[in-house]
Chain A
Amino acid sequence: MKLKMNPLITVNNLKVYFPVHGGLLRRVVDYIKAVDDVSFAIRQGETVGLVGESGSGKSTIGKSIVQLVTVSGGEIAYDGVTVSGLHGGDFLPYRKRIQMIFHDPYNSLNPRMTVEQIIGEPLDIHFKKMPKPRRRARIGELLELVGLQKSHADRYPHEFSGGQRQRIGIARALAVEPEFIICDEPVSALDVSVQAQIVNLLQDLQQRLGLTYLFISHDLAVVEHLCDYILVLNEGKIVEHGEPEQIYQSPKHPYTRKLLAAVPRLCL
């Protein structure tokens, strides 16, 4: 384990503003402040939860780290290097180390590609020189790692259930041996019983591969279970942060209390 104390990723005063166009000439008349002055840090091997309702900006934060949205201000540093200003090829090595798992396993896999093509795509980008047999073997390994079978490689996404598809999405993220994975609501589209399987899988993978997670979710119960540290986001701002017990036992902000109250309880 290297430098466990130093943060793997640091986000400082991150701002993401989306322009609102109006008037006859479609000039920029206003901005939507999706992420407004957000700062946090994640240490290696840690899981940090980002909680908030839809529209609170939590997905935008995840996307801005991998440059899927343009950052309006602030700085993102990965492993001590500022990555927020890097473009194209300069960012590519970091893009290999940071991967993403998406919300909806039905829409995040291309229905016309086989599982082998889906998982192989990041390998084609980041491991251009990997020989064909090695590539095939690696895909088999990855499928087994996420609890599927080697023989699944030639099938298409529609042949799998929601939980299995999410496993394929996880295998794709793991293909290029990342250090840091942004999980953007990976379990919200799944049944509760399948949700438990995927959460357990993510925990197992973290222990085996020493992964660092940013876990984005609207469900405080899952986040409390999985995370070492929680950030509560509302309207683009972090309104509360702390350890799970602290957030759960003594929530300070009314918004956190509202989120806690919404978690379904089995009143027996």
Chain B
Amino acid sequence: MHPLLTVNNLSIRFQDGNLAVDDISFAVADGEAVAVVGESGSGKSVTALSLTRLLPAPPACTVSGGIVWRGKDLLAADHAAIRRARGKEIAYIFQEPSTSLNPVFSIGYQIAEAIKLHRPEIKDVNAEIARVLELVGIRNAGQRQRDYPHQFSGGMQQRAMIAMALACRPKLLVADEPTTALDVTIQAQIIGLLRELQQQTGMSVLLITHNFGIVSGFADRVIVMFRGKIVEAGATREVLRNPQHPYTRALIDCIPQLGQNKERLTTIDYSKILDSR
């Protein structure tokens, strides 16, 4: 299968000399769900942002390597080409829905913005808004689209964000910690919803998370990042069952499990991991 997205030797360096991402390569195939797992500061969000050049321009931040999207190198592409891919072909959902949504515009207005920009052929915008809101499980969508973000709960706000991302029928959905700000019950719902939508629409998903717990049962493949480098990559079941790198094992071990009856939770011993490199 031809990969949809190929990232070759990507390095991202900030102005202060901090090498956030250090020579990583990976690919996402059409219709595949890939998870990038790592702690804060491991470079996973920066990688996601670099895909459509959402990072600050040099010299604040220098990106090198190649990001090949459906045969085109996005790092070398001109502004217009990037604008076409950003949002339309590669859509994003961010961590905190309450700060991603603009509080002074209605939910419907904000979804309409995306539709009008990327799908000008659509005549009945309101019907399309209602359709995508229903798709993400918001009841009474025709009326609720007139609501403002503060009238939505956290879970509903995240659903609205997903609706906004899906409104442009993207080929790749980048979900950057989509459930971290939400309750566990809502987390389960949102992950379930993403899985369902992925199967329905056949889009690819790049899920970025710090929690191995939500990866199993969602992603086909996992990429584990530690301090800017990929330390392990493979099929989800394989990685979870038989983690090769000590960091992967540590990340899996520190998740509290029900009915485990451990005295203490396992924390990550960084010196051990750095030694083993």
Contact = CB atoms under 8 A, between A and B. Distances in A.
A193 B267 contact: yes
A193 B251 contact: yes
A54 B39 CA distance: 25
B153 interface: yes
B211 interface: yes
A202 B119 CA distance: 52
B258 interface: yes
Interface in A186-204: 189, 191-197, 199-200, 203
Contacts of A200: 264-265, 267
Contacts of A38: none
Interface in B169-211: 180-181, 183-188, 210-211
B259 interface: yes
B258 A261 contact: no
B240 interface: yes
B254 A225 contact: no
B212 to A, nearest CB: 6
Interface residues on chain B, size class: 35 or more
A265 B259 contact: no
Contact of A262 (B187, B255, B260, B262): B187
A162 B255 CA distance: 18
A222 interface: yes
Given A219-B184, A264-B211, A54 B154 contact: yes
Main secondary structure of the interface of B (DSSP, over half): loop
A54 B156 CA distance: 12
Interface in B215-231: 216-217
Contacts of B188: 261-262, 264
Interface residues on chain A, size class: 35 or more
A221 interface: yes
A55 B153 contact: yes
B250 A221 contact: no
B214 A264 contact: yes
Interface of A: 53-55, 161-162, 189, 191-197, 199-200, 203, 218-222, 224-225, 245, 248-249, 258-268
Interface of B: 39-41, 153-154, 180-181, 183-188, 210-214, 216-217, 237, 240-241, 250-252, 254-260, 262, 264-268
Given A53-B183, A53-B186, A192-B212, 19 more contacts: A191-B40, A192-B210, A192-B251, A193-B39, A194-B40, A199-B256, A200-B267, A219-B256, A225-B256, A260-B258, A261-B188, A262-B184, A262-B187, A264-B187, A264-B188, A264-B214, A265-B216, A266-B212, A267-B217
30 contacts: A54-B183, A54-B186, A189-B180, A191-B40, A191-B210, A192-B211, A192-B213, A193-B210, A193-B267, A196-B266, A200-B265, A200-B267, A203-B264, A219-B184, A219-B256, A220-B184, A221-B256, A221-B258, A224-B258, A225-B260, A260-B258, A262-B183, A262-B184, A263-B184, A263-B213, A265-B257, A266-B216, A266-B240, A266-B255, A267-B216
